[in-house]
Structure 1
């Protein structure tokens, strides 16, 4: 009844538009202008009459009014010129991007109403206060140019340069220069290939190197930011500082190197693509530590780290069988990624001293080394340098091995007359957590848990159990060891590889004569399935796409039970009349 007496309304108005114009000045010379505009307005009202609240707290009627506005526009003018010179083709392009995003929030609270009939307006409020006002404006400008040249469809050269400006940086660091160069050789067009390798329909080598910039941080971090007090003292408005300024913050720069090979065989019935990439990110936009005496423990800055991501990507597409009644096609891909921290000067004195290690992946996991369960007490045991058996956070954590991860997928599609069959398999080879109930959930709450918790120590002499003994008594040795160390150990770290039949489908399309006899235009029967089968080494391992509301992916805990993806099977008909 109380909720029913507190009306709430939200009205959204959304306007979107775009405009583009193109004009050919001369043959090969073109002018183009593209633009877009978006305006979203959300108006909310909420009324809380005193009659809807507990009278023992002497409630006062109040009303809340909020307006959220998002306004974005972008303008992109370009001029391009294309010229053919014998067997060569050249194209030039110059342009710019001018963009602005504005978000604004105004929230007002009205109290001391003379009548609840006036709660829909601020006019009848005896006291009006503003809370959580917000305004942010983001401006982005860029000018750029591009040069492309190709000769006889064999040799390709391209180069780009752009100068980007962002309002998220201070006046001295607002602009960044970024460029890229690339080239390709289509060697299948060479006479020595055409005359001697007739089975090769495509052969192409390509490479590129360039710099890109990143400004994806909140607005105004180079300034001191203030916010309005949520609960004003004695109804007096006040401000407090929410961040410390950094006028030296600047663009993050990524240096990207890539080589690729594309091959086609037997008139493109078999297509192979292989890529190698190396991305080095520097000037990272992250956080630097501050003494807490300043009122803040960190501030946004460019850290001097260099992170490298490398990898090899392979993709194959083949038309295995091409027949009038039967076709079979296959697509296969695999990626072998690698990540590590190349350098970080003065890492030991930084905000990330206990998080990163030079030469190791940036997503490394540090864990205590688990040595088994004491068969007499049921308590887990750990390796410690001091020999005390109680792990030390600073000295006893080890870097969990990641091995050589790789992932990929394969799809197959079959067609036989009016029948079609297709399925997709994906896999991930990795080291990681192999159980979704590793943390301190046993005996801690009333919740559904992974069935692996049944395999726990229960009495003296139990050996080779997966879990330590359970205890509902805080302070007990088993409880303490389990809560504080076991969940942060490598007890469940190992081969977390998996292979999954993600989806499959089977369909039959009825013939034209049969359909016409039934008075239909089309009739198709189909069966589809998703999340059909998961194979892994550990029977207790959760589906890799399992999520936990409010918690980390793939981990169950006492408060938020893990939610595995649904296995879904759909049977249907497609009809047209």
Structure 2
């Protein structure tokens, strides 16, 4: 009875509150644009578990009374608390967040707040890229992001080499590029001005959603889109000059004559008659130039509540500093999204580009370094001079080679990338999205070989020839995803499930014909195969390939009380690249994080800490970037045999097929900390990563009856581990002056743990060797121990048994201490991969003025100077040879002048240089206009800027640049005469209407 009375009493007490409760309604909009904001989470501050989410038009409804305190939260916007005064038609505006931890970053098949990540993802805004010179926007990432190594090149239109957290394969180490959801091998079609943001996914848990294609890291690029309530026209342009700042130091005519005469004397040969040669030619000056670079970009964006459209067009033109090296690109981009109603949205995105390339012959670079400086390019009557007799058959006249083949090749291509999507929201928390993508490329080339004579028939060609080629490729991709998002009380849950499929195919055909009797005119309109009637000289070739992928994926993100974060993902991939019994693989990942700064014990005890998060993750994924059809018994038809007086074509296996090969498997862990202090003035991120790539594909030599044949198999393991640090400080003095400084540092340990059968097996590509216990592509050779000064010193050394050794030769270390110098004394002599990469930047703002300075560098790696090492003639000498050994005590580094002593040219530390460098990469002075006179011209804002890139590099390398890459991971850091990276001086402006 007492219980019943108590219940009645409680009901009577609660009844007024219940009767007084009513529905609160309102809408949420963007504070800057007034656009409605769908998906805003609205909950009671009292954490009663009651909450709602704003609809597609920004409207919301929730039970409450006057005085109720509501919290409004949306990714990328500052959270807001509002006490209800009027329960009807509330208008709530949210500001875009400037806090780093609240920024939205793009992840695989979705977005997330940075504060909610458990992995390692770096984000770069498009505005940090748009004014950097170059055809590829990723070149601007150099020195800006921890964990990523960017090796640039000065060649017009060329893309940089990018590696994320080291080298994990001996085949292909390029990352996967995802542009607005489409998977790509490159992003050459993009307009830099269209880029809204770039995300670099580095840790396994973030990458696992990309399965068999994500082992080398993923770079996600989001392009510009219009916003609701926006009408904006933007014009951006820049132009500049590229200038060669560092030349390779080679001897002039006087130095060359002295050294060559000395060499002939050492060989007891007759002196060379230099009397006809009066020139002093700097061949580098003859082939290089100051070159223009320019870019123009125009975009229009307009958005209503129903329709948002974005259109841009761009033109990029770069001349290379090597004469006649040139690249042009024309680009157009269209994006249109339409809201059929508050639950259904559709859209299309299309990009088109055309490129034209005129490549100067890059072989001219090493040729200009070895050509003798004693002759002129032209004779008095305007003909081309031939090289001196001592190098005539091997080294041409660089200017003749450059001019003869000037504009004798036509290379161009078209590329179309497009997508269309439909998105349906239903049952309040579910969203279904279907997207179809395509990537089509059409490339063509034609070239012409003229008749020519250099000198007195020293070099000649009396037969015209033409060649043609076409290369087409296509990619089709379809994604179907179902997303569930809900917030209930202290819980926030995001689920994603999907199915994706991709097809890639391509083919090429090429042909050539000679014309020995009829001269083909030097007219590009006639550079076709049918110009020559000589059918017997024609050579044709062609091939094609295709591959397909099918994947199932799932991801779950869960947050409790905004401080305990968990995620798990799984992708099952199938690929046609491998045999039927090895086509499917499973790639799981998991991560967790603890936002300690949300804990009351830290929040109240250390107020200086604004944000502190500990995180850890694990994942497994794959690398399929290897050759196609490796399990098929392919044949090589480039062989022949003679029986009697007839020649018969023959075919031999390219390799022994292996039906059990599969993708390389990368498994890794990541742990780190994220910290902000002092009202978010100071930020720090630190990560430790450890990843092991297993089952790398290697070629094993299998002896057979017809010779040695290779078989590809999964038989290797590679380790990459290290630390990443990113820190920054930003503050202001007064209301007009602001400054910031930031830096990043990455350490890397690269090591081959297993390869082949592990019993002396290695991959050799002189001077590089990939072997267990050392980095991929490590340099392998002898260790120099000075120069032999006398016969007595030779007799006391391990090289005494070699009768060829004489005073003035290089002394090698007896590594195995067996009393003689043999191949067993070759050893590891340096890594081409830096073990330390860093970047520093400084930014100042005063009213409309801005100053930005960026520097970067690396250390711990070596460069192997291979320029002219494999001598097959007399080459010009680099100036270090002026310090050669001429007698006891004259040099303990440079050997005697005698190129016939081949042992001095063996790979050794004599050719090794430290690859460490520090570069002033970017300096920019800018001014933002917001004056009333601009508004009278209907200009909303304007910006002028002057900048310099690659202004100065501090290094000890003797080549053009310390950035010596290499397309192959097993032959990196070998300087054959690398294309120089120029300094670029540029001016431009940006206008918004």
After the TM superposition, which residues 165-204 of structure 1 pair with which residues of structure 2 at under 5 Å, given as runs?
165-204=574-613
Do the aligned residues in 1 keep the contact of 2:413 with 2:443 (CA within 8 Å)?
Answer: yes
Root-mean-square deviation (Å): 4.6
C-alpha separation in 2, matches of 1:255 and 1:139: 24
Which of residues 86, 93, 97 in structure 1 aligns to 2:496?
93
Query: 1:164: which partner in 2?
Result: 573
Query: CA 1:290 to 1:86, structure 2 compared with 1: closer, same or farther past 3 Å?
Result: same
Query: CA 1:43 to 1:280, structure 2 compared with 1: closer, same or farther past 3 Å?
Result: closer
Query: CA 1:437 to 1:13, structure 2 compared with 1: closer, same or farther past 3 Å?
Result: closer
Query: 2:484: which partner in 1?
Result: 81
SS in 1 for 2:759: helix
Which of residues 49, 66, 72 in structure 1 aligns to 2:475?
72
Query: 1:56: which partner in 2?
Result: none
C-alpha separation in 1, matches of 2:740 and 2:599: 29
C-alpha separation in 1, matches of 2:552 and 2:940: 54
Do the aligned residues in 2 keep the contact of 1:131 with 1:230 (CA within 8 Å)?
Answer: no
Do the aligned residues in 2 keep the contact of 1:420 with 1:508 (CA within 8 Å)?
Answer: yes
* CA deviation vs aligned residue, 1:160-198 (integer Å, no higher than 9, x gap): 111111111101111111100111111111111221122
* Cα displacement (A) at 1:82: 2.1
Do the aligned residues in 2 keep the contact of 1:422 with 1:504 (CA within 8 Å)?
Answer: yes
Query: 2:423: which partner in 1?
Result: 22
Query: 2:202: which partner in 1?
Result: none
* CA deviation vs aligned residue, 1:18-60 (integer Å, no higher than 9, x gap): 111111132111111111123334466789999xxxxxxxx99
Query: 1:568: which partner in 2?
Result: 984
Query: 2:223: which partner in 1?
Result: none
C-alpha separation in 1, matches of 2:781 and 2:939: 64
Query: 1:53: which partner in 2?
Result: none
* Cα displacement (A) at 1:545: 2.4
Query: 1:55: which partner in 2?
Result: none
Question: 2:859 aligned with 1:466, yes or no?
Answer: no
Do the aligned residues in 2 keep the contact of 1:506 with 1:526 (CA within 8 Å)?
Answer: yes
TM-score by length of 1: 0.80
* Cα displacement (A) at 1:375: 3.1
Do the aligned residues in 2 keep the contact of 1:440 with 1:482 (CA within 8 Å)?
Answer: no
Query: 1:396: which partner in 2?
Result: 825
C-alpha separation in 2, matches of 1:520 and 1:481: 70
* CA deviation vs aligned residue, 1:313-337 (integer Å, no higher than 9, x gap): 0000210435322111011111111
Do the aligned residues in 2 keep the contact of 1:370 with 1:380 (CA within 8 Å)?
Answer: yes
Which ranges of structure 1 fall in alignment gaps of 5 or more residues? 51-58
Do the aligned residues in 1 keep the contact of 2:639 with 2:652 (CA within 8 Å)?
Answer: no
Query: CA 1:371 to 1:438, structure 2 compared with 1: closer, same or farther past 3 Å?
Result: farther
Question: 2:665 aligned with 1:253, yes or no?
Answer: yes
* CA deviation vs aligned residue, 1:450-500 (integer Å, no higher than 9, x gap): x3232222x22343453112225x3xxxx333223xxx2223547543322
Which of residues 244, 265, 269 in structure 1 aligns to 2:681?
269
Query: 1:311: which partner in 2?
Result: 722
Which of residues 926, 931, 941 in structure 2 aligns to 1:512?
931
Provide the aligned length of Structure 1 versus Structure 2.
550
C-alpha separation in 2, matches of 1:33 and 1:302: 36
Query: CA 1:540 to 1:8, structure 2 compared with 1: closer, same or farther past 3 Å?
Result: closer
After the TM superposition, which residues 30-179 of structure 1 pair with which residues of structure 2 at under 5 Å, given as runs?
30-42=431-443, 67-107=470-510, 131-179=540-588
C-alpha separation in 1, matches of 2:891 and 2:540: 59
C-alpha separation in 2, matches of 1:221 and 1:453: 48
After the TM superposition, which residues 300-449 of structure 1 pair with which residues of structure 2 at under 5 Å, given as runs?
300-303=712-715, 305-343=716-754, 346-348=757-759, 350-352=761-763, 355-376=769-790, 377-384=807-814, 391-393=821-823, 395-400=824-829, 405-433=835-863, 436=865, 440=869, 444-447=873-876, 449=878
Question: 2:904 aligned with 1:482, yes or no?
Answer: yes
Query: Larger % of strand: which?
Result: 1
* Cα displacement (A) at 1:104: 2.0
After the TM superposition, which residues 444-455 of structure 1 pair with which residues of structure 2 at under 5 Å, given as runs?
444-447=873-876, 449=878, 451-455=879-883
Query: CA 1:148 to 1:97, structure 2 compared with 1: closer, same or farther past 3 Å?
Result: same
Query: 1:54: which partner in 2?
Result: none
Query: CA 1:251 to 1:294, structure 2 compared with 1: closer, same or farther past 3 Å?
Result: farther
C-alpha separation in 2, matches of 1:369 and 1:253: 36
Residues 562-571 or 349-358, more deviating: 349-358
* Cα displacement (A) at 1:260: 1.4
Which has the higher relative contact order, 1 or 2, with Cα contacts under 8 A spaced 6 or more apart?
2
C-alpha separation in 2, matches of 1:46 and 1:404: 40
* Cα displacement (A) at 1:428: 1.9
* CA deviation vs aligned residue, 1:323-380 (integer Å, no higher than 9, x gap): 3221110111111111223345841153549945544333433331211112353221
Query: 2:963: which partner in 1?
Result: 545
* Cα displacement (A) at 1:15: 4.4
SS in 2 for 1:243: coil
Do the aligned residues in 2 keep the contact of 1:423 with 1:505 (CA within 8 Å)?
Answer: yes
Which of residues 693, 699, 705 in structure 2 aligns to 1:281?
693
C-alpha separation in 1, matches of 2:534 and 2:947: 59
* CA deviation vs aligned residue, 1:283-310 (integer Å, no higher than 9, x gap): 112222212545444222101x332211
* Cα displacement (A) at 1:430: 1.1
C-alpha separation in 1, matches of 2:854 and 2:550: 43
Query: CA 1:379 to 1:184, structure 2 compared with 1: closer, same or farther past 3 Å?
Result: same
SS in 2 for 1:481: helix
Query: CA 1:135 to 1:87, structure 2 compared with 1: closer, same or farther past 3 Å?
Result: same
Question: 2:931 aligned with 1:503, yes or no?
Answer: no
SS in 2 for 1:168: coil
TM-score by length of 2: 0.49
Question: 2:952 aligned with 1:533, yes or no?
Answer: yes
Query: CA 1:308 to 1:437, structure 2 compared with 1: closer, same or farther past 3 Å?
Result: closer
C-alpha separation in 1, matches of 2:463 and 2:570: 62
C-alpha separation in 2, matches of 1:530 and 1:43: 33
Query: CA 1:510 to 1:442, structure 2 compared with 1: closer, same or farther past 3 Å?
Result: farther
Query: CA 1:201 to 1:246, structure 2 compared with 1: closer, same or farther past 3 Å?
Result: same
